[in-house]
Amino acid sequence: SRAALSALPSPYSPGGARAYGVTGGHEAGGGGSAVPPVWLRPSVSRERERERESSALGFGFGTTRSMFDDWKREFAAWRHRHGVPEGAKVFIMTGSYDDVRSSLVARGWHENLDPDSRYFDLKWALKARDIDHRRLREGQIVNHFVGAASALTTKSGLCRSLRSLHWYAGTPVDSFFPRCYDLAAESDETRSFHVDFKWGLAASTLRRGLL
């Protein structure tokens, strides 16, 4: 009953817990037959809320502390099986980034050759879709980001962002950044590039002839 619940300790008092008196599938005070309260520690509640928010966003560290601890133990077992010393950094690489690979190895990093493995400290991928952000664990680093970050971290995204600059500043983009075009299938600015190239070639020819 409401009177019985009012006597329970506050969920925000020291050592208190968040109490939910479930009645017929609803919180206390609803209809149905009462069942004993379900107790959830505030810390657990916050972790579950964080996990739900991360899953809803589609990226981030959607993992509880117990899941993170399990992953750390599995990572340690992976290190033992592959002869990787404890504390040594592990990386995964997709694509031909030989300079990055050699630089990491020279610094004592070890390469995990399985591109789909969960066990790494750094994943350097060729494409953003090669990274499952929902499976990332705390402390893992990747070279691609999801969401609004692509507006700055990809060449096509940066191109589109600069095109929108005139709404916020009066400086022409071409005055400080090389002309660029998005040749992806969905936007295909190939014709614009051809026209720009022809005008540039014509101007260059005239300049050489006049000088």
Q: What is the pLDDT of residue 121?
A: 95
DSSP-based three-state secondary structure for 177: coil
* Secondary structure letter of residue 26 according to DSSP: B
* pLDDT tens per residue, range 75-85: 999 999 999 99
Pair (144, 127) in one structural domain: yes
Q: Which domain holds residue 24?
A: 2-40
Enter the pTM of the model. 0.49
pLDDT higher than threshold 80 for residue 96: yes
- Answer with the residue of higher pLDDT: 48 or 73: 73
Q: Mean pLDDT over all residues of the chain?
A: 74
Q: What is the pLDDT of residue 165?
A: 86
Tokens 């208190």 belong to which residue?
A: 16
pLDDT higher than threshold 70 for residue 24: no
Average pLDDT of the segment spanning 166-175: 85
Pair (175, 192) in one structural domain: yes
Pair (86, 145) in one structural domain: yes
Pair (138, 109) in one structural domain: yes
Residue % of the chain over a pLDDT of 70: 68
Pair (145, 160) in one structural domain: no
- Answer with the residue of higher pLDDT: 56 or 141: 141
Pair (84, 136) in one structural domain: yes
Residue 1's pLDDT band, with cuts at 50, 70 and 90, is very low
Question: 95 in the Ramachandran plot: left (φ > 0), alpha (ψ -120 to 50) or beta?
Answer: left
Q: How far apart are CA 102 and CA 56, in angstroms?
A: 38
- And the tokens for 53? 């928010």
* pLDDT tens per residue, range 142-164: 988 777 677 777 788 888 888 88
* pLDDT tens per residue, range 29-59: 444 444 443 333 434 444 454 445 444 444 4
- Which of 3-12, 16-25, 26-35, 64-73 bottoms out in mean pLDDT, i.e. has the lowest? 16-25
- Is residue 54 in some structural domain? no
The last residue of a domain, from among 105, 124, 149:
149
User: Which residues have C-beta within 8 Å of that of residue 157, sequence separation ≥ 6?
Assistant: 150, 151
Q: What is the pLDDT of residue 167?
A: 86
Domain count, the chain: 3
Q: 25-32: long-range contacts at Cβ-Cβ below 8 A with a sequence spacing of 24 or more?
A: 28/2, 29/2, 29/5
- And the tokens for 139? 């402390």
What does the chain come to in residues?
211
Pair (124, 158) in one structural domain: no
The last residue of a domain, from among 106, 134, 149:
149
First to last CA, the chain: 95
Pair (104, 78) in one structural domain: yes
Pair (73, 144) in one structural domain: yes
174-175-176 Cα angle (round to 5): 95
- Is residue 195 in some structural domain? yes
Residue 69's pLDDT band, with cuts at 50, 70 and 90, is confident
